[in-house]
Structure 1
Amino acid sequence: MRDGGRIAAAIEVLGDVERTRRPVQDALKDWGLTHRFAGSKDRSAIGNLVFDVLRRKASLAAIMGSDSPRALALAAAVRLWGRNVSSLDALFAEDKFAPASLTDDERVALSSGTVPADAPDWTKGDYPEWLASSLDRAFGDRVVEEGEALAGRADVDLRVNTLKSEREQVLAGLDHLKAVTCRWSPVGIRIPAVDGDLRPGHVSSDLAYKKGWFEVQDEGSQLAALIAATGGGRQVIDLCAGAGGKTLALSAALGNHGQIYAYDSDKRRFGDILDRIDRSGSRNIQIREPRRDQDVLGDLAGKSDLVLVDAPCTGSGTWRRRPDAKWRLAPGALDIRLKEQAAVLDNAVRLVKTGGRIVYITCSVLPEENEAQISAFLSRTPAFALGDAAAAFRAVTGQDAPELTRLRLDGRDGSMLRLTPALTGTDGFFVAILNRTA
C-alpha cells in the first residue's frame, strides 16, 4: 500500500471507533481481517497513525476546526508525521485508494498547523474536558506539559530477570534495537520509541525473552514493584495479581526467597501467568484462585509481611499506550474504581501482621484514586501510618534527583510518590507505603 491508501484506511478505522466506541485494537484487528492484502508494514503504519490521532485528538481537532476522522487523520499526517499540503496533494493524486482531494478549507487549516492560543488547557494537553479540574489539582501550572507527555508515544521498557540473567548480558543481545539502560530502574532496559510509520522492535520473538531473561514492563511499574520489595518479607500477597507482572518482579527482587501468593478476584485476569512463572524460573509463587463462597486467603489473615495492592484504576497513567481509553473514560467508571479501591484496601488490612505493610499502587495520575484514597484510608484505619515512599525511591534507584521534589507528595508523617511521563519518562504511577503499627 502507498501512504495515501494507508491514510484512507486510518480514516476508516477511526470512523469505526467513533461509531462503535469499542477498543481501537479490536477495530484494527477487524480491519486487517477484512483487508488481507495489507502487509505487516501497512498494518503497522495504519495502526501508528490511528494511535497518534487518538493521542492528540483534542489538539488536532482544534487545528482543523473539526473532529471528523478525516480531519484528524489529515492533521496527524501533517503535524506528527512531517507531511505538508503539497506532499498530501501529490499522494492523493497518484493513489487511487487515497482519500478525496484536499478542500480549500483543509489546505488553510493544515498550512497553519497550530492550536489556537486561546484554546483551553484540556485541548492543548489532549485530555478529556471533564477531567480538567482533577488534573489541575494534580499538576497545577504544569498540567499542559503533563498532558502533552501523556499524549506522546511510549518507549518499550524491559525488566531484566535477575533470576536468570544480568542487565549487560541482555543489553548486548538487544544492541540491534538500540537498547539502552533505563534512567531509574537498576534492572530496566529501554528500547526508544520510533517516529512516524516505523515499526517498533518486536522483543517477544527474541530468544532471550523465550528463555526468560527479561519481561516487558514499564520502568514505572518496575520501580513500584522494587519499592514494594524494600524491607523484604517472608510472606507476601499480591492481592490484584492479574497476569503477574509485579508478582514476577517481586519474586526476582526477593531473590526467590519467601513465599508469594498471587491472587485476583477475577481468575480470568491471570491470563498466561503460569507460563510466565515457568519461563522466569520463579519458585516462590503460589496461585490462589478465587472460589465462590470460600475465603481462599483466610489462612493468611494476620500473617503477611507485605500485601501488594495494585489497585483497579482508570489507567490514566497509561494513556500513551492506550490513547483510546482516555476518550472512552466516563465519570461513572471513575466512581466504580474508587469504590473498588477502597474495598480492596480494606480487604488487605486483615491480611497484614503488626509490623507489616500494604503497598498501594495505581497506574493513574488522578488525585481521587491516589492521595485522596490514601487519606481516606488512614482516617478510617488508625492502625496504619504512612511510610516514606520517597526514601524508598532513593534506596531503589540510588539517586536523589532534583525531580524527586516534584514526585514526592507529602502526607501525614510520610510521603507518597507520583511518577509521570513528563518528570520520569515512565507511565504514570502512584505508590504509597502503609505501615501497620498496631
Structure 2
Amino acid sequence: MRLGGRLAGAIEVLADIETRKRPVADALKDWGLAHRFAGSGDRAAIGNIVYDALRMKLSHAWLMDDDSATALGYGVMLRQWNMTADALRGEFDGDKFAPEALSDSALNAFQSRNISDAPLHVQGDIPDWVQASFEEAFGESWLQQAQSLNERPTLDLRANTLKATREKVLKALDDAGAEKTLIARQGIRIPAGTGPSRLPNVTAELSFQKGWFEVQDEGSQIVADLAGAQEGEQVLDYCAGGGGKTLAMSASMNNKGQVHAFDADRKRLAPIIERLKRAGTRNVQVHDRAAGLNSFLGKFDRVLVDAPCTGTGTWRRRPDTKWRLTTRNLEERVEQQNDALKQAKAFVRPGGFLLYVTCSVLPQENERQVRHFCAENPEFSIQSALPQWDSLFGKAGKRPHSSDGDTITLTPASTDTDGFFFCAMQKSA
C-alpha cells in the first residue's frame, strides 16, 4: 500500500474508535481482518498513524478547528511525520486509495493558528479536568510532563540474569539496534522509530524463547529494583498480574529466598506460569486464592502492592485510555487501592516494608494515597526512597521527580520511562 491507502485505513480506524467507543487494539485488529490484502508493514504503519493521532488528539483538533478522523489523520502527517501539504498532495496524486483531501477551512486554520494560543490542557493533550492534578503533582513543569506522555514509547527489555548477561542479550539483538538503558541495571532499549517504521518482534527471537530476556518497560524494572528484594528474604507481590515485577525480583534474589505472587484476577495472573518456566525461576510460588496466603500473615519482609490504577503513566502506549478516563474511574481506582493496602498490610512482619507502586502520575492515587494510609495506620511510616535511588543508580544522570522528598515519580520527561510512582513504608518493629 502507498501512503494514501495507509492514511485512509487509519482514518477508518479512528472513525470506528470514535463512533463505537472501543479500544484501539480491537479496532485495528478488526480492520486487519477485513482487509487481509494489507501486509504487516501496512498494518504497522496504520497502527502508528492511529496511535500518533490519539496521543495528540486535542491539539490536532484545535489547530485544524476540526476533530474529525480525517483532520486527526492529516494532523499526524503535518505535525508528527513532518510532511507539508504540498508534499502530501504530490504523494496522493493518482492514488485511488488516498483519503479525501483535507478541507480548505481545516488547512487554513492549521496554517494560521499557533498552538501556544490554545488552552493549556489542549497544549498538553490531556482531559481538561486532569490539569489540576498535573499541576499539583508537578508544579510549574506540569505542561512539559503532560507533553512528554504524547511521545512514542521505546521497546524496553530486561535481561534475565538467571540465564544470560545483559551483554549477551545485546549481542543477540544487535540487528534490532538494541542498546543499554540509562538507568535500569539490566535494561535494554530499542528506539521507538519514526513515521511508518515498526518495532521488531523480539518475542519471535530464539533468545527470548530461551528465557534470556523479558519485555518490560524500564520504569517497571526500576521500581522492581527499588523494592530492594534481597537473597533469602520472603517477599509477597500482592497484585502480581502477569508477573513482570515478580520475575525481576526473583532474578535479583538469584533464586534464593521466596517470592509469592498473588492476584485476585486469575485471568491477569495466568500468563505468569509460562513466563516462570521460560525464565528458569525456582523461588516463586503462585497463589490465585487469598486463603492460600493465610499462613503467611505477619511474616513477609517485603510486600509489594502494584495497585490497580488509572494507568495515566502509560498514556504513551495506551493513548485511547486517556480519552475514556472519567472522575468516576479515578474514584473507583482510589477506593481499590485503599482496599489493596488494607489487605496487604496484614502480611508485613514487624520491621518489614510495604511497597506501594502505581503506573499513574496523579496525586490522588499516589502521594495522597500513601499519606492517607499512614495517617490511618500509624504503625507504618514513609521511608525516603531517594537514598536508595542514589545507591542503586547513582546521583549523576537522569533523576526522578519527587514532590515531597520521600516518594519517587518516574515520567518520560524526568527518566525517559513510562510513568510510575514508588513509595516505601516501614512497619514499626
State the TM-score, normalizing by the size of structure 2. 0.97
1:421: which partner in 2?
412
Q: Kindly indicate whether the alpha-carbon contact (under 8 Å) linking 2:64 and 2:107 is maintained by their aligned counterparts in 1.
A: no
Q: SS where residue 309 of structure 1 aligns?
A: strand
Deviation at 1:437, TM superposition (A): 0.7
1:101: which partner in 2?
101
Structure 1 residue 401 and structure 2 residue 396: aligned?
Answer: yes
Aligned-partner Cα distance in 2 for 1:421–1:384 = 30
Q: Kindly indicate whether the alpha-carbon contact (under 8 Å) linking 2:74 and 2:102 is maintained by their aligned counterparts in 1.
A: no
2:214: which partner in 1?
215
Deviation at 1:110, TM superposition (A): 4.1
Aligned-partner Cα distance in 2 for 1:103–1:311 = 46
Q: Kindly indicate whether the alpha-carbon contact (under 8 Å) linking 2:230 and 2:253 is maintained by their aligned counterparts in 1.
A: no
1:27: which partner in 2?
27
1:12: which partner in 2?
12
Root-mean-square deviation (Å): 1.4
Q: SS where residue 229 of structure 1 aligns?
A: coil
Aligned positions, number: 429
1:36: which partner in 2?
36
1:150: which partner in 2?
149
Q: Kindly indicate whether the alpha-carbon contact (under 8 Å) linking 2:156 and 2:218 is maintained by their aligned counterparts in 1.
A: yes
Deviation at 1:403, TM superposition (A): 5.0
Instruction: Summarize deviations over 1:234-260 as a string: whole Å, max 9, x none.
Output: 211110001000000010011111111
Deviation at 1:101, TM superposition (A): 2.7
Instruction: Summarize deviations over 1:324-363 as a string: whole Å, max 9, x none.
Output: 0111111111101000000110111110110111110000
Aligned-partner Cα distance in 2 for 1:40–1:361 = 36
2:52: which partner in 1?
52
- Amino acid in structure 1 at the alignment position of 2:217: D
Q: Kindly indicate whether the alpha-carbon contact (under 8 Å) linking 2:184 and 2:222 is maintained by their aligned counterparts in 1.
A: yes
Aligned pairs (5 A) from 1:29-428: 29-112=29-112, 115-230=114-229, 234-290=233-289, 295-397=291-393, 399-401=394-396, 403-404=398-399, 407-410=401-404, 415-428=406-419
Q: Kindly indicate whether the alpha-carbon contact (under 8 Å) linking 2:220 and 2:420 is maintained by their aligned counterparts in 1.
A: yes
Q: Kindly indicate whether the alpha-carbon contact (under 8 Å) linking 1:185 and 1:396 is maintained by their aligned counterparts in 2.
A: no
Deviation at 1:232, TM superposition (A): 5.4
Calculate percent identity across the aligned residue pairs. Answer: 47
Aligned-partner Cα distance in 2 for 1:436–1:18 = 48
- Amino acid in structure 1 at the alignment position of 2:401: L
Instruction: Summarize deviations over 1:250-282 as a string: whole Å, max 9, x none.
Output: 100111111111100111111321110000000
Point out where structure 2 has 5 or more consecutive residues left out of the alignment. none
Q: SS where residue 249 of structure 2 aligns?
A: helix
- Amino acid in structure 1 at the alignment position of 2:87: S
- Amino acid in structure 1 at the alignment position of 2:121: W
Aligned-partner Cα distance in 1 for 2:345–2:152 = 38
Aligned-partner Cα distance in 2 for 1:230–1:120 = 45
Q: Kindly indicate whether the alpha-carbon contact (under 8 Å) linking 1:306 and 1:359 is maintained by their aligned counterparts in 2.
A: yes
Aligned-partner Cα distance in 1 for 2:111–2:4 = 19
Aligned-partner Cα distance in 2 for 1:218–1:329 = 22
- Amino acid in structure 2 at the alignment position of 1:342: N
Aligned-partner Cα distance in 2 for 1:278–1:115 = 54
Q: SS where residue 248 of structure 1 aligns?
A: helix
Q: Kindly indicate whether the alpha-carbon contact (under 8 Å) linking 1:305 and 1:356 is maintained by their aligned counterparts in 2.
A: yes
Deviation at 1:417, TM superposition (A): 0.5
Structure 1 residue 432 and structure 2 residue 423: aligned?
Answer: yes
Q: Kindly indicate whether the alpha-carbon contact (under 8 Å) linking 1:317 and 1:364 is maintained by their aligned counterparts in 2.
A: yes
Point out where structure 1 has 5 or more consecutive residues left out of the alignment. none
- Amino acid in structure 2 at the alignment position of 1:198: S
Aligned-partner Cα distance in 1 for 2:384–2:183 = 18
- Amino acid in structure 2 at the alignment position of 1:336: E
Aligned-partner Cα distance in 2 for 1:17–1:314 = 20
State the TM-score, normalizing by the size of structure 1. 0.95
